[in-house]
Structure 1
Amino acid sequence: MKLIDKSIDKEGQGYVTLVPEEPEDMWHAYNLISEGDYVRSSTVRKVQSESSTGSSTSNRVRTMLTIAVETIDFDTQACMLRLKGKNVEENQYVKMGAYHTLDLEMNRKFRLTKHEWDSVSLERVEMACDPTKSADLAAVIMQDGLAQICLITSSMTIVRAKIEASIPRKRKNFIQQHEKALAKFYDNIIQGILRHIDFDIVKCVIIASPGFVRDQFYEYMFQMAVKTDNKTLLENKSKFMLIHSSTGFKHSLKEILQDPAVVNKISDTKAASEVKALEVFYTTLQCEPDKAFYGKKHVEKANEAQAIETLLISDNLFRCKDVNLRKEYVKLVDSVRENGGDVKIFSSLHISGEQLEQLTGIAAILRFPMPELDEDDESETED
């Protein structure tokens, strides 16, 4: 994300002008824009004009428009953000108060104005505009007849391609058909890897599967690379890593990202730190349950006692429609940091974020045990 302009006063009012440059930037924009914000961007509007003879013609004109956002729709596949709202600035083609839909796309500048920029939103701008954040991890999760090519960025897991094929069993009279179908399946995966993985950015490509599927594919891919003199694959051979997974489905990413070999390889990425924090939470919950809690009420009580060492919170909670509730979550994040705690904001589009969502979207690892939090629950139940 490129920051063009920024003007925010001491009260937190003001605007930023941004240009999304890659798919993940659209996800950051989705997290930044809330209902009630003003967004200004160029758009195309159909305009009716009447000639002197009375005949009318319809033309499409490009114009700059500012809308008060009412609905936000994020298309993860097209990496497009669709905003609907009323026009709030004078425009020769669109009446004040008229509804219009703005499509925010990559490489198209937009200005975002908020009545109040909180610490979480400002941190999001800073993170989005940091050039060191990028999709530096890719994974090919596969099993017989199914493969998924995923990009794992610091904020989200994107399935870039899903490859399915019907492969006959390797029986006596079907060996030739089996090998032919398998070769075609592998060729499609290779094409998907070359199309969707940018080896200039990606540090590591994980190939994961149950059994020996990954080994057979890896061997086939580099045999073909040598045969066709595919320099892209041959020059990046060291980036490939073979890991066991229980299935070829996306949810297997959880176990893959917890594999010590993978953790060492991607230790400098945000994705790895989120997975590790969640793993520590689950371990604490199992071994020292009085030091791990989830749910807004428990976490807030732990924070009042300045007991939170690590706060795990989903970015979904900052997109809730209730403005006051959103402010409560921002206040909690600020308070934990003031008390010396670590805050991990999980992306709901990342595999670890999906797991946190199952725990209400908010959890905490404490500095010291607080058994009284559970006792409070028991006493309320008895009442």
Structure 2
Amino acid sequence: MKIVAYDPKHGILKLVPESSDDIWLLSLVIKPGDLVKGRTLREVRFGERGSGRSSRIPMVLTIRVESVDFQPFSTRLRVRGVVVEGPEKFGVKGKHHTITVDVGQEITIIKEGGWPRQLLEKLEKSKFRSKAIVVAVDYDEYAIGIVQEQGLRIVAEEALRLPGKDDPSRGEKLVQAITIIAKKVLDIARREGINSVIVVGPGFAKEHVVEKLKELDELRIVVDTASMGGVAGIHEAIRRGVVRRVLAELELADVVEIVGEFEKLIVKEPERVAYGVDDVEYALEQGAVEKLVLLDELLHSPDPAMRERIDRMLKLADQISSKVYLVGREHPAYLKIKGLGGVFAILRYPLFRNTLSQQL
């Protein structure tokens, strides 16, 4: 992510996404109520009362964001909202418009209440973060994911549909499938600028993929076992620490560890944890939160009151120097965190549950 300019006083940030991961990251930080300014195309009708021909006209618009849509297999972000600023002659103010953000396109994001430190850090770190491709493959299916600080992003998954073991064409079909997988990995590596690949799975399928990758290009390849291929195999590799050994500095595996820490504390020292928006908000107000973990989808809650609470919680976390982890839907810990109300915290010191309930 290239940061072009930042005005902290007015909450104005101008930037250029430089990869599909940057586009994904923007989908986390742009929220309903923000202002987004960018160059876009708008269909305009000419003639009296718009009865004549129409044409798509390039223009710079500023919209008040209502929704953000990112497709995992795309490099584009669709930001929809109401136009608050644009060329007067086209009469676009007050109308709905969608700005499509792509790699290399400069945009300006304005957060009128200011930028939380955690979001700025996410954008800053995106310039330097390490990434790896994780492939989980067996003879039934495979999945390819990109793992980086913000989490896991699945970019390909498919069933192999190989003929039965007695079918004479099985060997040929397997070679074709392995070649397709290896070429997809290389395409992703070149597109994303990644040179580390982790290949996991049961049996010899993973070895075939590794051989083909080595034949096609020079990459740093780590091989390990998993009980299955597909997305479940990737999640297993993360849980078992395979990714940790390759990319120890990434926060993806940290979140899994923090969830484990939470599960131990809630049994042995329940006063050292808080979960659910109400309890965590109170713990933040007391300055007690050491680590805050929340689902990024809370940033985009359809409930304006909830969005305001989450914004306030992030600002409180900033003020008391809590470590904040934003977790996406594809993270292996997603369902556990969802079951805790979407947010939990590890506390610096005990806050007793009855005290929490009296305050809320």
What range describes the TM-score normalised by the shorter chain of this pair?
A: 0.7 to 0.9
Residue of structure 1 equivalent to 2:198: 206
Q: Deviation at 1:349?
A: 4.3
Q: Residues 145-189 of structure 1: CA distance to partner in whole angstroms, max 9, x if unpaired?
A: 311111112214222222432223323xx3x32212211111111
- 8 Å Cα contact 1:28/1:124 also seen in 2: no
Against the structure 1 CA distance between its residues 328 and 85, is the aligned structure 2 distance closer, same or farther, given a 3 Å change threshold?
closer
d(CA) in 2 for partners of 1:26, 1:220: 30
Residue of structure 2 equivalent to 1:332: 313
Determine helix, strand or coil for the equivalent of 1:198: helix
d(CA) in 2 for partners of 1:220, 1:16: 44
Q: Which has the larger radius of gyration?
A: 1
Determine helix, strand or coil for the equivalent of 1:241: strand
Q: Deviation at 1:57?
A: 3.6
Residue of structure 1 equivalent to 2:29: 32
Q: Deviation at 1:245?
A: 1.9
d(CA) in 1 for partners of 2:321, 2:100: 40
- 8 Å Cα contact 2:201/2:225 also seen in 1: yes
d(CA) in 2 for partners of 1:104, 1:199: 18
Say whether 1:146 aligns with 2:171. Answer: no
d(CA) in 1 for partners of 2:70, 2:28: 10
Q: Deviation at 1:62?
A: 1.0
Q: Deviation at 1:210?
A: 2.6
Determine helix, strand or coil for the equivalent of 2:143: strand
Residue of structure 2 equivalent to 1:136: 131
Say whether 1:124 aligns with 2:105. Answer: no
Residue of structure 2 equivalent to 1:80: 76
- 8 Å Cα contact 1:18/1:110 also seen in 2: yes
Q: Deviation at 1:31?
A: 2.4
Say whether 1:20 aligns with 2:17. Answer: yes
Farther-moved stretch of structure 1 (210-219 vs 22-31): 210-219
Against the structure 1 CA distance between its residues 282 and 214, is the aligned structure 2 distance closer, same or farther, given a 3 Å change threshold?
farther
- 8 Å Cα contact 1:127/1:133 also seen in 2: no
Report the AA paired with residue 106 of structure 1: V
Identity of aligned residues (%): 23
Determine helix, strand or coil for the equivalent of 1:194: helix
Residue of structure 2 equivalent to 1:98: 95
Gaps of 5+ in 1: none
Q: Deviation at 1:195?
A: 1.3
Residue of structure 2 equivalent to 1:346: 327
User: How many residues are aligned here?
Assistant: 355
Determine helix, strand or coil for the equivalent of 2:85: coil
Q: Deviation at 1:362?
A: 0.8
Determine helix, strand or coil for the equivalent of 1:129: helix
Q: Residues 50-101 of structure 1: CA distance to partner in whole angstroms, max 9, x if unpaired?
A: 59xxx94433221112222223322232232222233222512243322222
Say whether 1:309 aligns with 2:290. Answer: yes
d(CA) in 1 for partners of 2:299, 2:74: 23
Equivalent residue in structure 2 for 1:62, among 47, 52, 58: 58
d(CA) in 2 for partners of 1:336, 1:126: 13
Report the AA paired with residue 190 of structure 1: A
Determine helix, strand or coil for the equivalent of 1:124: helix
d(CA) in 2 for partners of 1:199, 1:90: 34
Q: Residues 10-65 of structure 1: CA distance to partner in whole angstroms, max 9, x if unpaired?
A: xxx342222111112222322222223222211112233459xxx94433221112
Q: Deviation at 1:143?
A: 1.6
Say whether 1:373 aligns with 2:347. Answer: no
- 8 Å Cα contact 1:138/1:202 also seen in 2: yes
Against the structure 1 CA distance between its residues 218 and 374, is the aligned structure 2 distance closer, same or farther, given a 3 Å change threshold?
farther
d(CA) in 1 for partners of 2:212, 2:11: 56
Say whether 1:47 aligns with 2:44. Answer: yes
Q: Deviation at 1:140?
A: 0.7
Farther-moved stretch of structure 1 (210-219 vs 93-102): 210-219
Q: Deviation at 1:259?
A: 2.5
Q: TM-score, normalised by structure 1?
A: 0.80
Farther-moved stretch of structure 1 (300-309 vs 180-189): 300-309
- 8 Å Cα contact 1:292/1:365 also seen in 2: yes
Determine helix, strand or coil for the equivalent of 1:27: helix
Report the AA paired with residue 65 of structure 2: V
- 8 Å Cα contact 1:134/1:201 also seen in 2: no
- 8 Å Cα contact 2:136/2:142 also seen in 1: yes
Against the structure 1 CA distance between its residues 8 and 209, is the aligned structure 2 distance closer, same or farther, given a 3 Å change threshold?
same
Q: TM-score, normalised by structure 2?
A: 0.85
Gaps of 5+ in 2: none
Q: Deviation at 1:289?
A: 4.3
Residue of structure 1 equivalent to 2:106: 109
